Structure 1
Amino acid sequence: MSRKNYSQNVEICGDCGSLEATWASLNKGILLCTQCCSVHRSLGRHISQVKSLPKSSWPGKQMNMLMSLVNNGVNSIWEHLLLENGSKLMKKKPNPRDNLEVKAEFIKNKHQMCTFALRQTFDDGPICVENELGKQLHASVRTPNLETSFKLLATGADPNYFHDEKGTTPLHVAVKSEQLLQLELLLIYGADPTCPDAHGKTPMDFAKNNVNKEIYNRLLESQYEVTDSFSYYLSMRKPDHQSGLHILIPQNGFFSNSASLEKLQKELVVDVFDEVDRRQTEAIWLSCADAIELNTVPFLPVDPTLSTTRNQGRQKLARFSTPELKNLVYDILVDTQRRQNISDKSLSYFEEDPVYDTVASDEDYEALPLQKEKNFLNTSKDIPVKENNLEILELTKQLQISDSTISGLKAEVTKLKACVENLTSENNDLKTKLSKIPEISRLNGETAFNSLDTILMNQEENNRVPPLNGQSVDDSFMFERRSQRPSSMYETRDMAKGTRTNRQAYKHQLKEESRSGVQSLYAERNSRQPIESHTANITKSVQQLWRCLNTSNIDECIPKAEKVKIATAKLIANLPREMYADITKVMLDVLPRLQPECKEYVSAFREGDDKLMEHHLSKIRDYAYVLVSNTRDILAKSSGPF
């Protein structure tokens, strides 16, 4: 098509920014200058499909599709990490004045290694990623938003993805929606126009139903892309598909080799197509004055997805002279036409039924044998007929068995799908539950049951006591009443000690309780109130400190640590020394270390050192855990008699 429509577009090279872009890469969606195009050609057609803007043939709306991608800036997909803010990569795009080696290194990293490209991330496996991209592509091709479809294809979407629920491929949807640019994009990425849907209809059938001749002719041409390239290489003409001529074979100047026809296979056809495309591009390349001095591509580049022997065979095609290669292409066209005629005859044989039954002529009746010979032949023919009937019965049995196995496998597949759905739902539930547990509490081998957060949550729940008869009840009193034991338990424990002092103290306690009655309970409650209030203050201050650390409220960390220190010191001052000597010793050992660690954490946070922050945070968590667990032990121990 003519390029007059795009005279207003600024043609800039997508790799180096040169203003003289006369080439293009179809599957990359960018324009190229001559130097960058030489590097793209060395990568191979499986990496970059190169075409000349003024001299190559552009079928259908292919040029419109390319310019739409260029104007929408799809080059940012391949340079996503370079354009991202705060990127850690030190790479920069080359300038038009840079050497060819610098440009070649950048182009290989960008297009062959895809180092800077956008990558889709999903939590599930690769199969789920492929299905998700295919479903998004299936929905995107029905709209004129070409950039979204290109992004999905560039990040790994399958152009021939078959939607299980809709029963169609993206090419079916694009044809049905009459999106010509989406159709061209899918064809470039390898969409199959002969792929049927769930009802056996191809995209060409959809084009017939829509009565869109342009789409139908474009799909018809795409089916014969390889043979059209071969015909144009031999005779500089392409067949007229609209008139029914799909393969054009020149009659003079070439000969067919019977030995080479036996070796023609699908792989050889693909390799010859790539070699023909390389030579045609080479001819256009040499016709450009500014491209002669650059390095040319003498043979097909290595494709890492193919075997070593296959790559060697592909490169040996460059040793063929032009007449030899044209003879090989001629053999391929002849063999392709032969296969097409065989398939057409087989279809016509099964589709066209005769109108009348065949009747034997008089000569056939004269050639019949005598009656004896006829009887003998009839008896001899009965045996193979019976054998054929037995074979048919056996085949029917085998077909029934295979049908039953297929039905059983389908049932198992449905069961497995149901199991997979259940597992995915359970997995999502577990993820939601685990997301509620703080990640910091699971470090250093801690579980959700013995972590600092769990202890704090449990103490908060224990401190929350419902009101009794509309009036609030003291938490320590309710805790004391729940943990109170009968007098018989105190009696057996004290009698087992065998000391006279304990017996006298116990008798004195019984006398005091018998005199005071209910007043002793309130006296005991008032004596425990300071301990329980101080433990509640420690728990509350530790919770506030932990919230500051988790919410990155750094300015409040050191004052909250000072509050923890003051509350712990008040608790230790109100405890009996003999009964809580071990616990207070541990707490006094940990208490002076908490606030310095908070200061170190604040300085590490301001410097941005993540490893040092994690180190100090783990120590703060350990110290806070020791304080809270010891206060819990003190509270449990204080529930007994002093």
Structure 2
Amino acid sequence: MSKRLRSSEVCADCSAQDPCWASINRGILICDECCSVHRSLGRHISQVRHLKHTPWPPTLLQMVETLYNNGANSIWEHSLLDPASVMSGRRKANPQDKVHPNKAEFIRAKYQMLAFVHRLPCRDDDSVTAKDLSKQLHSSVRTGNLETCLRLLSLGAQANFFHPEKGNTPLHVAAKAGQILQAELLAVYGADPGTQDSNGKTPVDYARQGGHHELAERLVEIQYELTDRLAFYLCGRKPEHKNGQHFIIPQMADSLDLSELAKAAKKKLQSLSNHLFEELAMDVYDEVDRRETDAVWLATQNHSTLVTETTVVPFLPVNPEYSSTRNQGRQKLARFNAHEFATLVIDILSDAKRRQQGNPLSGSKENVELILKSISNQHSSESQDNDQPDYDSVASDEDTDLETNAAKSNRQKSLDSDLSDGPVTAQEYMQVKNALVASEVKIQQLMKVNINLSDELRIMQKKASKLEKQNSMPESDYDNPTTSLELDETGSGRKGRQRSVIWQGEGSIPEDTDTAPSSNLPSTEDVIRKTEQITKNIQELLRAAQENKHDSYIPCSERIHVAVTEMAALFPKKPKSELVRTSLRLLTSSAYRLQSECKKTLPVETCPTTDIQLVTQQVIQCAYDIAKAAKQLVTITTKENNN
């Protein structure tokens, strides 16, 4: 894709140079800022994907390129091209415009309200109009004119329209004609590759019959896109459909001993009607897309945007076509921590395979929310008995983007055992192993992130030095902070060690129930100074990971833990601000998790390379969470102390 990018390419919404994202269903390229608005609208409005940092099926990318190069954007801005629109004061956004309200209002009008799309003459019977459009679509897909078909779809043509005279759907026609890009576009708009025509044949059958083997293979992939995406999310690979393998059911290391609550949740899932099960599966698919796109977003942004208006999407946006109950259930998915969400994904994969193989269970009208609640309760009860939780269960509307990264971490935590289509072969094992090598890319990204973070902290420090001197620091309700003089050569002080014992037992902020909540916050300068130390230590750890110096993990993690301890000690024992408590909880629990992961490198001589790679990815993830939490605390204290 990078070879294709040209300086002439601009964002479809604000004309900014070198857009990095694509909206697949709109056939356009967009910049970072406009992408943040697209994401907030939901996938039912715009399906975004990064051009470089997200895997693309080659023909899907080719479809977007073709639409973009053939002026697909004019479909969505038809009336703006009319000179009269200039006279009326309507214009598209500029790169210099603010995201809110300027760009956001324009993008909502353009895609959500379809305010600028060419309107057909009003007719009394809308269904006839839709039928006519669908018949035109049915005829057009046998050609290579993608933008014509996109225009018809934008006006209301149905991708799954069954032509009463022809006895087939547009996808059947595209498959017969070998139009693979048309098939991609139809699939984006919901066309089903498994639909049978009046002769009982599917689009896949016609593609094979016509010798269009690439198209046939791609249609099979599209047919299993939902379950493939869920499997890839957890274990980093997809089934080999060409070899007759259509499902991968990952297994987590700690899922063998299922609790009664877990069994009950699984039973409720199995008892759902096919319709309700499909709805739940699609909602989980959307949540996977949200979490994965958040991870790409966090890895590719200039991280000064993390605390501005263009932050990640905290939960699935409302889809007005769904009931309020379903929308509430969709949003609750964001509160699932990585372990809970992975359990739900695995159960859905298992049941999808069972249903396809025709093993129906007795129907039931159990509410989908009961399933989500049961899984959540199961892990809540388990975490109470677990002193070393695998993942931080903190989730608030301000901080749910962190779960994206925890879920990524969970992908390596999962044991990639394909229990559904035969044993894991040597080839499959190598595929997983090769996928783990991608951690090198993440290391490079995080090194860049931390360099940006250091620069930003220096800027904040300069600003803070201009503020009025704080009169006197109120004594912290925490234990007295450990100073650098109290540290021994290993970087851990006596009081720091005492504090770490408390955190290791709880994995969160120690709270004294007898202490009243305090709104006192440390000075911005102190917080910046401690954050710089944390950042410096994280950079040392990432360099060690980059250079495969695994024996440096433990001393680096100890220095990070001490720096985190000192920073947390600056804050009251019981902060009044929920945001401060959330950030401190993430900071301290991530530091503890980091130490736990680094200790796994001790028996180096007995640890296979793959295990080291797994540990490295976990270590990188913990370091990222620590850096983000520290930055949040800097931002909070800077804002509060400036008020």
TM-score in terms of structure 2 length: 0.52
Give the superposition deviation at 1:295: 2.0
Q: Unaligned 5+ residue runs, structure 2?
A: 270-276, 361-643
Tell me the amino acid that sits aligned with residue 188 of structure 1: V
Separation of aligned partners in 1, 2:239 and 2:344:
19
Aligned residue in 2 for 1:280: 292
Aligned residue in 1 for 2:137: 137
When structure 1 is superposed on structure 2, of 331-340 and 258-267 the one drifting more is 258-267
Are the structure 2 counterparts of residues 43 and 254 from structure 1 closer, same or farther at C-alpha, using a change threshold of 3 Å?
farther
The alignment of Structure 1 onto Structure 2 pairs a total of residues equal to 343
Superposition map of 1:111-122 within 5 A: 111-121=111-121
Aligned residue in 2 for 1:93: 92
When structure 1 is superposed on structure 2, of 318-327 and 79-88 the one drifting more is 79-88
Separation of aligned partners in 2, 1:46 and 1:56:
20
Superposition map of 1:170-319 within 5 A: 170-253=170-253, 255=255, 257-264=262-269, 265-290=277-302, 292-293=305-306, 294-319=310-335
1:25/1:48 contact within 8 Å kept: yes
1:254/1:326 contact within 8 Å kept: no
Aligned residue in 2 for 1:464: none
Separation of aligned partners in 1, 2:351 and 2:88:
53
Superposition map of 1:532-547 within 5 A: none
Larger RCO: Structure 1 or Structure 2 (Cα < 8 Å, ≥ 6 residues apart)?
2
Tell me the amino acid that sits aligned with residue 222 of structure 1: I
Superposition map of 1:602-641 within 5 A: none
Tell me the amino acid that sits aligned with residue 146 of structure 1: L
Are the structure 2 counterparts of residues 303 and 98 from structure 1 closer, same or farther at C-alpha, using a change threshold of 3 Å?
same
Pairing partner for 1:72 from 59, 70, 73: 70
1:37 aligns with 2:49: no
Q: Unaligned 5+ residue runs, structure 1?
A: 345-642
Give the superposition deviation at 1:127: 1.8
2:6/2:18 contact within 8 Å kept: no
Tell me the amino acid that sits aligned with residue 69 of structure 1: L
Helix, strand or coil for the counterpart of 2:132?
A: helix
| 1:284-306 alpha-carbon deviations (Å, 9 max, x no partner) | 00001336432221111111111
1:172/1:202 contact within 8 Å kept: yes
Helix, strand or coil for the counterpart of 1:197?
A: coil
Helix, strand or coil for the counterpart of 1:51?
A: strand
Aligned residue in 1 for 2:19: 21
Aligned residue in 1 for 2:556: none
Aligned residue in 2 for 1:325: 341
Separation of aligned partners in 2, 1:93 and 1:300:
27
| Greater fraction of residues in helix | 1
Separation of aligned partners in 1, 2:67 and 2:88:
26
Tell me the amino acid that sits aligned with residue 49 of structure 1: Q
Helix, strand or coil for the counterpart of 1:342?
A: coil
2:9/2:19 contact within 8 Å kept: yes
Separation of aligned partners in 1, 2:112 and 2:298:
25
2:171/2:186 contact within 8 Å kept: yes
| 1:513-548 alpha-carbon deviations (Å, 9 max, x no partner) | xxxxxxxxxxxxxxxxxxxxxxxxxxxxxxxxxxxx
Are the structure 2 counterparts of residues 135 and 254 from structure 1 closer, same or farther at C-alpha, using a change threshold of 3 Å?
farther
Aligned residue in 1 for 2:106: 106
Helix, strand or coil for the counterpart of 1:61?
A: helix
1:34/1:290 contact within 8 Å kept: no
Separation of aligned partners in 2, 1:9 and 1:181:
25
Helix, strand or coil for the counterpart of 1:323?
A: helix
Helix, strand or coil for the counterpart of 1:68?
A: helix
Helix, strand or coil for the counterpart of 1:200?
A: coil
2:5/2:18 contact within 8 Å kept: no
Give the superposition deviation at 1:107: 0.6
Give the superposition deviation at 1:9: 7.1
Separation of aligned partners in 2, 1:192 and 1:89:
43
1:254/1:330 contact within 8 Å kept: no
2:7/2:17 contact within 8 Å kept: no
1:260/1:331 contact within 8 Å kept: no
Helix, strand or coil for the counterpart of 2:29?
A: strand
1:81/1:89 contact within 8 Å kept: no
1:23/1:34 contact within 8 Å kept: yes
| 1:443-478 alpha-carbon deviations (Å, 9 max, x no partner) | xxxxxxxxxxxxxxxxxxxxxxxxxxxxxxxxxxxx
Give the superposition deviation at 1:323: 1.0
Aligned residue in 1 for 2:52: 54
Are the structure 2 counterparts of residues 252 and 137 from structure 1 closer, same or farther at C-alpha, using a change threshold of 3 Å?
same
| 1:274-333 alpha-carbon deviations (Å, 9 max, x no partner) | 111100000000001336432221111111111111111111111100111001101111
